Amino acid sequence: MLRTGATLAEEESRPDRARAEALLGEFESSGKGWFWETARDGTVSYVSESVARTIGREAEDLVGRAFTDLTSTEVSDGGATSERTLGFYLSSHVAFQDLIVRAKTKNETWWSISGRPVHDEVGRFFGFRGFASDLTKMRQSEVELDRLARQDSLTGLANREALRRALDDALVGAARRKHRCSVFLLDLDRFKVVNDTLGHPAGDTLLRLVALRLRDTIGELGQVGRLGGDEFEVVLPSTSSQADLSILAQGIIDSLSRPYTINGTMVSIGASVGIVTSDYDDRTSDDLMRDADLALYAAKGAGKGCYRFFAPEMHEAARERQVMESDLRLALEKDELKLMFQPCVDASNEAVTGFEALIRWHHPEHGLVSPATFIPLAEEIGFINEIGEWVLRTACEEAAKWPQQISIAVNLSPIQFKLPSLPSRVRAILSETGLAAKRLELEITEGVFLSNDEHVHDMISSLKDIGVKLALDDFGTGYSSLSYLLRVPFDKIKIDRSFVTGASDLEGRNAALIRAMVGLASDLRMQTTAEGVETDEELQLVRNLGCSLVQGYIFGKPMAPDEALALANKGAATLPAKLPPREARIRIIRAALLHHQGRVLGARLRNISSGGALVECREEVAAGARIELDFAAGGLIEAEVRWVKGTQFGCQFKETFNLRLLQQLAPAAPKPQPVMSPHYLSSGAVGGDK
């Protein structure tokens, strides 16, 4: 019908009908649509050639066949097809518009057909005439759009919307087939660290790798998807036994915890999993997701890297948490927060050098709530900045009452450290309270280094500009970290209690670690505080290892402000004498003979108390060895070696030694001088929180 080669002039000369035909042909050949006509009985009387081509026939072949034969009754992909069929309209002689039908072709082809009945002059039905357009491309992109709308673009996994549908379907299927379905809710542990330290592209790569491993582990058992961030979900339509779910969850944790290599860097993360299984009840997918969330919260609370099944008690715990949250918001107003102060002393002379402010919450119903519980809660609900500001002001107000040389240490949450206004707040509080900047020490943990480096360094230098001191708290427990020490001008590092506790064996691992930390810190001209020193042995140890400051129950528990003030006033020189005296230790230099395993060795006493002595001996003596000492003080003294460090060892006498014997019997000995205050505070004697 297309008249190729016809000139415009020729076209001009044609009569109207011919022009109409030409336009028709032009349109038909454009592929945008086609025309059709049926006879009274619904058979084709005219159809554009393009349609015949689509169907793989000649137009003439189609004439005389039922028009409905060109279309398929099959509805395949769930897209919108018209409810009433073409046959219905044709036989009922009703006009129709945009009827979506599938062509009877091998390749998927979709048409939108419109048609209206034609009548002759006397109104008799004559047949149908109509127009159709090809929808194939549009429908394909619709399907594509639909697919994209259900897919997480980063990982290619199902997205939140698709997961929701999958869970709805699983619930319907489970009810119908009388079984149960389950959901895993997953959260990656330490993902944020990777993202913050290696950058977002590396974080994205990691998420893709996680997606692959997850898909591998789950296989055909269910639908894996990503909810956003580092949160993933698995819908398991027909897995419900605890044993199977446990194995699967552990499999996921193990798989995701294997190291990843990203741009040549080895990265390790973990995963926590919350599990919920539908019961034959009326819980909706929303209910299940909320329960899975509680189970996940429990898994993370249990120390991460583990899975937890949902249990109904978790609702009660969540409710309590919510009550706690709202109580905490009011605690400041209701004056339920208090500060306690724990002394920090100089390891060499036991003078009080400062106090650490430690917050307490006196809850009207729950009593004393540990900061280890409510500080994380305050961080979670975004209330830590208010609390932190209050702590800072209250601590500085108290410290301003103390003698000039005594400092105050205040703990800062990593969240406070992110606040750009922190330096100006610190400045303002110092000037309001009149405390000299150098007396304020801010304690931060390695947690602050987990976010954007540049910001951290800016913050550190702004704070240092004010003149306050910086301490690295809980050193050794984090992501270790010696590199922070090299990069950040800390004034002090505080060695975590976990290294000090039970570290009295000088050869042990903890002692070696403390020695390394102290060595590094002193090279960098930083002080070291040993935290949590409780016993004499621990004190002796951290002192021998060279820690410059000591903080722990042995010198005092956190105490109320008035007690701290009293101690500050006295303790700058010596600690209060009213407390039970600790046994004196006397520095001495005296030759001694050491009897050990049938041999007699030369040795030298360095200090002595009624319970034991510090001895120097060139020969090797092992910890635990039984020895006898002769230092001209009334015969052989039996003792046991408790620790050895190089040529020195500490020993404990089997029986109490009378120190007076030493003075009476040894006029040649140098005059004994006390080096340690004979009366430092004994554990539990001061304060009384906990």
Q: Which two tokens stand for residue 269?
A: 């993360």
> Binding partner of residue 256 among ligand C2E, Ca ion, none, CB under 5 to 8 Å per kind?
none
**Contact status: 370 vs ligand C2E (CB under 6 A):** yes
> Binding partner of residue 289 among ligand C2E, Ca ion, none, CB under 5 to 8 Å per kind?
none
**Contact status: 681 vs ligand C2E (CB under 6 A):** no
**Contact status: 540 vs Ca ion (CB under 5 A):** no
**Contact status: 358 vs ligand C2E (CB under 6 A):** yes
| CB of 411 or CB of 527, closer to Ca ion | 411
Beta-strand runs (E) in 476-624? 492-495, 527-530, 549-551, 585-596, 599-609, 612-616
Binding-residue pattern over the window 398 to 427 for Ca ion, x denoting contact by CB under 5 A: -------------x----------------
In the bound complex, what is the minimum distance in angstroms from residue 384's beta carbon to Ca ion? 15
By CB under 6 A, what part of segment 534-553 binds ligand C2E?
Answer: 534, 551-553
**Contact status: 327 vs ligand C2E (CB under 6 A):** no
Q: Shortest CA distance to 613 belongs to which of 594, 599, 597?
A: 594
| CB of 21 or CB of 491, closer to ligand C2E | 491
> Binding partner of residue 358 among Ca ion, ligand C2E, none, CB under 5 to 8 Å per kind?
ligand C2E
Residue type, 391: V
The strand pairing partners of 273, in sequence order, are 186, 307
Q: How does strand 469-475 pair with strand 612-616?
A: unpaired
Binding residues for ligand C2E, rule CB under 6 A, total: 22
CB 244 within 8 A of CB 218: no
| CB of 159 or CB of 353, closer to ligand C2E | 353
**Contact status: 474 vs ligand C2E (CB under 6 A):** yes
Give CA–CA dist 102/614, Å, rounded. 98
**Contact status: 446 vs Ca ion (CB under 5 A):** no
Give CA–CA dist 166/366, Å, rounded. 43
**Contact status: 473 vs ligand C2E (CB under 6 A):** yes
Give CA–CA dist 356/559, Å, rounded. 10
State which of residues 28, 49, 293, 474 lies at the interface with Ca ion (CB under 5 A).
474
| Residue 27 dihedral angles phi and psi, to the nearest 5° | -65, -45
Give CA–CA dist 396/339, Å, rounded. 11
By CB under 6 A, what part of segment 493-512 binds ligand C2E?
Answer: 497
Give the angle 103-104-108 at the CA atoms, nearest 5°.
60
**Contact status: 414 vs ligand C2E (CB under 6 A):** no
In the bound complex, what is the minimum distance in angstroms from residue 430's beta carbon to Ca ion? 20
Binding-residue pattern over the window 8 to 37 for Ca ion, x denoting contact by CB under 5 A: ------------------------------
* Reduced 3-state DSSP string for 416-484: HHCCCCHHHHHHHHHHHHCCCHHHEEEEECHHHHHCCHHHHHHHHHHHHHHCCEEEEEEECCCCCCHHH
- The residue behind tokens 């009388």 is 178
User: From residue 420, how far is each of 195, 415, 449, 455, 684 by CA, in Å?
Assistant: 22, 11, 15, 9, 40
Binding segment (CB under 5 A) for Ca ion, from list 289-297, 363-371, 530-538, 674-682: 530-538
**Contact status: 473 vs Ca ion (CB under 5 A):** yes
State which of residues 9, 80, 266, 372 lies at the interface with ligand C2E (CB under 6 A).
372
**Contact status: 551 vs Ca ion (CB under 5 A):** no
CB 179 within 8 A of CB 238: yes
Give CA–CA dist 365/380, Å, rounded. 22
Residue type, 479: Y
By CB under 6 A, what part of segment 87-126 binds ligand C2E?
Answer: none
| CB of 237 or CB of 552, closer to Ca ion | 552
Binding-residue pattern over the window 70 to 89 for ligand C2E, x denoting contact by CB under 6 A: --------------------
| CB of 115 or CB of 558, closer to Ca ion | 558
| Residue 175 dihedral angles phi and psi, to the nearest 5° | -65, -40
Summarize as ranges the residues that interact with Ca ion (CB under 5 A): 411, 443, 473-474, 531
Q: Residues in the site for ligand C2E, rule: CB under 6 A?
A: 342, 357-359, 370-372, 375, 391, 411-413, 473-474, 497, 532-534, 551-553, 558
